[in-house]
Structure 1
Amino acid sequence: MKKSVFILLLFVAGSLMAQETRLLRQPTLSGNKVAFTYGADVWVTNLENNITTRLTSTGAVESNPVFSPDGKTIAFTSNRSGTNAVYTVPVEGGTPTRLTWYPAGATVCGWTPDGEQVLFASPRETAPSGFKRLWTVSKNGGPEILLTKQWGNNGSFSPDGKKIAIDRVSRWDVEWRAYRGGQNTPLVILNLADMSEELIPNEKTTDINPVWLGEKVYFLTDRDWTMNIWSYNTATKELKQETKYKGADVKWLAGNKNQLVFEREGFLLTLDIASGKTTQLSISITGDFPWAEVQWTDVSQRASSVSLSATGKRAIMEARGEIFTVPVENGNTRNLTNTSGVADRSPIWSPKGDKVAWFSDAGGKSYSLMIGAQDGLTPPKSISIGE
């Protein structure tokens, strides 16, 4: 039999929804504006008129945006120079200013309360293996100053700037749910005058992302097995659970005055501290996204679950979430599913070769068994499998 080589081409289309854009990440809040990252760029939305502006547009990864206390500037992390460094950009947009130049990476954590310095974490000048410590740099650039020799992956200053809440350890797997290993350390309240420490009560849980507002330190913790927002009153030493979500974790936390902003399930939400009311923000993203353009993609190197039909004339296979059949010698390649955004898996022929079956997560809730004609000309039948 003559050996033939077939190239599978998949027509890929990125769907940019006009409403309720998801995968919005790392929010920060100032007055009527919320900044965040989407597609590795920094954006800002005016919550009064719901107008969203793109502040950065590069092939680099931009992350960790934080508003200055006066709300006029956003500090963020970018690897546009080849390594992570601290940058600032006006909230109205413009050319970003680079503040750190050390070869080791730097990750933005926040600002000093007076808005004169940017707080960042960096593993520079540590040995034998690198660990992060907290540094500051002037908003105008200049020498970078080590804040404390204490380990520091993230931090948030008290309103008077005399203390700082520190998350000491960087996690090697930030998505490890219900982790109870050695990376879980208590959040530390460090007195910058005498370097004395107060530990926020911890039960070997993952406590991260401290945000100091007023007398309370707000933070994320999975002590009820789902990552929720809790608070620690520095005066009364009281712990309080602020949100009580089940299932999906809260992923990020920031705040300003009497409001918190956080990320959950790809959406951004605010929490009014006084009332405890949460509000989901409706943000629409429009822009030029090269990574989402319609394109042809060769997926022949990603074919799996390959099998021959009963006649031996065609083969079926899965590639990049689509189900294809290809001729062994003569004929055309067929994409039986052509369902962008759906994962179609594990195809198999029927004994007679007139039908094919596969699993699909169409609908987004669970996998179903799909049975359809081998020519793909009629809609397949969906059978629930209870998963």
Structure 2
Amino acid sequence: MPAVGRDPDKAPQLLQHPAISAATIAFVYAGDLWTVPRQGGDAKRLTAGGGTVSDVAFSPDGAQIAYTGDYDGNVDVYVMPAAGGMARRLTYHPDRDEVVAWTPDGNAVVFRSRRKGVTRVARLFTVGLSGGLATEIALPTAHQASYAPGGERMAYMPLSPVFRAWKRYRGGTTSPIWLVNLASGQVEKVPRANSNDFDPMWIGDKVYFLSDRNGPVTLFAYGTKTRDVAQVLPNDGFDLKSASAGSGAIVYEQFGHLHVFDVASGTARPVSVRINADVPVLRPRHVNVARNIINAAISPSGARAAFEARTEIFTVPAEKGDARDLTNTPGVAERDPSWSPDGKWVAYFSDESGEYALHL
């Protein structure tokens, strides 16, 4: 989507994986790591090409940023100065190592990995800022986590999220949030009724988290002393996709935009982010779609096949002839082609109007 230089109030910018410190918000845009002042303004790019970034986390003092980097054919943990500079790779295991948080003292990064065992279950590990061998946190399974202020307890998500593929999922692996005493292993479960709870953030005597328990995903808080759950942010619109806490605030992502929730006042505000940069992935260019072909359909005569690739609808001959891009609409998603019985029409779904509708 060509969002570079646009007014953030007029089009989604697809700003993702935000994190917040006392003065700065970090986020991912177009696969790179960016920062912007906490009050908003012009964004600064910290990484440039060569791979993709996700799972951003500020160190407790705000001086460093940890992130998951997909470089050189492997996914690992990286750390770089919050002001910009050379990134340091901390993990080298062939399995995926993905940033979760920092330890309270700021001396190590918490990450999840399936490096131990033969199942799809992830566990949490820590790695020091100079790299080296990782240390496992004594939890049988975990996906996300946040330390209590003293570091003796942790709020964590024991299961990997299934709801990212199935919205409002209510099956057997909905994701709870548990509180664990790291010394004794004693667990306290956040009350729920088969909802998807994720992104735990321990602030003071409350654990904030995102949940779809009341409809669209929004922000809730669990009182560790009162042991009750309350919705703290109304939401009758789009789901909140991710959230992260720091310095008395929570930054969250909703429909490609960033917002900051002030914990003391209980109010939220949008963050205006201006991105004026040359972003190569947004340039018009030719792309080989051979590895992106899905949803193929053979014509009734067998002479041609239709398929979806990069949200365009193509037809190709069975033997000789030219490939045809039937839609050729960058910025619009077309999906699921199907031939008419006489082979004269191709039906497909398009979101050109803002909602998916059937087109011919």
TM-score of the superposed pair, with normalisation by structure 1? 0.76
| 1:64-213 map, 5 Å | 64-126=55-117, 128-172=118-162, 174-213=164-203
CA distance in 2: counterparts of 1:275 and 1:61, whole angstroms: 36
Contact 1:318 1:344 in 2 (8 A): no
The yes-or-no answer on 1:287 pairing with 2:277 is yes
Contact 2:168 2:212 in 1 (8 A): yes
Specify the code of the residue in structure 2 equivalent to 1:85: D
CA distance in 2: counterparts of 1:319 and 1:76, whole angstroms: 33
The yes-or-no answer on 1:266 pairing with 2:266 is no
Question: Can you list the C-alpha shifts for 1:24-78, whole angstroms capped at 9, x where unaligned?
Answer: 0010000121001111211111235723111111232211010001111000011
Question: Can you list the C-alpha shifts for 1:80-109, whole angstroms capped at 9, x where unaligned?
Answer: 132221110101111110111222221111
Mind listing any 5+ residue stretches in structure 2 that lack a counterpart?
Answer: 301-305, 315-322, 340-346
Q: Tell me, what secondary structure is at the counterpart of 2:74?
A: coil
The yes-or-no answer on 1:35 pairing with 2:35 is no
Q: Tell me, what secondary structure is at the counterpart of 1:84?
A: strand
Q: Tell me, what secondary structure is at the counterpart of 1:291?
A: helix
- Name the Cα RMSD after superposition: 3.5
Contact 2:7 2:274 in 1 (8 A): yes
Where does residue 63 of structure 1 map in the other structure? 54
Specify the code of the residue in structure 1 equivalent to 2:108: Q
Q: Tell me, what secondary structure is at the counterpart of 1:151?
A: coil
CA distance in 1: counterparts of 2:122 and 2:2, whole angstroms: 37
Distance 1:178 1:33, change over 3 A: same
Question: Can you list the C-alpha shifts for 1:176-215, whole angstroms capped at 9, x where unaligned?
Answer: 1111122124311110121111111121111111011111
Contact 1:45 1:53 in 2 (8 A): yes
Distance 1:296 1:194, change over 3 A: closer
Specify the code of the residue in structure 2 equivalent to 1:100: T
1:273 deviation in Å? 1.6
Contact 2:191 2:228 in 1 (8 A): no
| 1:297-336 map, 5 Å | none
Contact 2:297 2:338 in 1 (8 A): no
Specify the code of the residue in structure 2 equivalent to 1:246: D
Where does residue 18 of structure 1 map in the other structure? 6
What is the percentage of aligned positions where both structures have the same residue?
34
Distance 1:360 1:117, change over 3 A: closer
Query: Aligned residues, how many?
Result: 340
Question: Can you list the C-alpha shifts for 1:239-280, whole angstroms capped at 9, x where unaligned?
Answer: 110122124211101111321111111111111122221111
Larger radius of gyration: 1
Contact 1:306 1:318 in 2 (8 A): no
TM-score of the superposed pair, with normalisation by structure 2? 0.81
Contact 1:304 1:319 in 2 (8 A): no
